[in-house]
Amino acid sequence: MPAPIPLSELTFHATRSGGPGGQHVNTSSTRIELWWNALASPSLTDEERRSLTAALGHRLDGDGWLRIVSAATRSQLKNREAAVARFQRLVADALVPPKRRRKTKPPRSAAERRLKEKKRRSATKAKRRQPPSEE
């Protein structure tokens, strides 16, 4: 189990939310951006860092920063809690090692069933064809 990432590694920025809200939305900075540098984090081992960048590579910018935005509520505190929860879930899911694939072979009965069905289908289509004309 990986060690939890301390909140001191996270950077928060509060900005104004978009969307409806009247005068309140124009004056309150309730939207939260959470930033975390995965490449420079001292909380990760090299192996964890590799698996995290493999899983979240599409979400990291060129310098290794992960950005999560939350603007679901009108409360800055609730948006911050939501962003942290999403961050924890994202990192935990990324650090779960993938299951190893076990090679399997389909049973002989499946192959026979498939071939039998192909022959039946071929016969059905052959019956639809017109017989060759004898001229």
* The pLDDT of residue 25 is above 90: no
Does the global pTM surpass 0.95?
Answer: no
Q: How far apart are CA 1 and CA 91, in angstroms?
A: 12
The answer to the question of residue 107 being in a domain is: no
**Which residues span the domain enclosing 45?**
7-94
The answer to the question of residue 99 being in a domain is: no
The answer to the question of residue 102 being in a domain is: no
Domain of residue 70, CATH code = 3.30.160.20
Place 24 in a pLDDT band, splitting at 50, 70 and 90.
Answer: low
Q: Kindly compute the dihedral angle of the four CA atoms of residues 52, 53, 58, 62, in this order, to the nearest 10 degrees.
A: 140
Domain count, the chain: 1
For the chain, give the mean pLDDT: 87
The answer to the question of residue 20 being in a domain is: yes
* The pLDDT of residue 1 is above 60: no
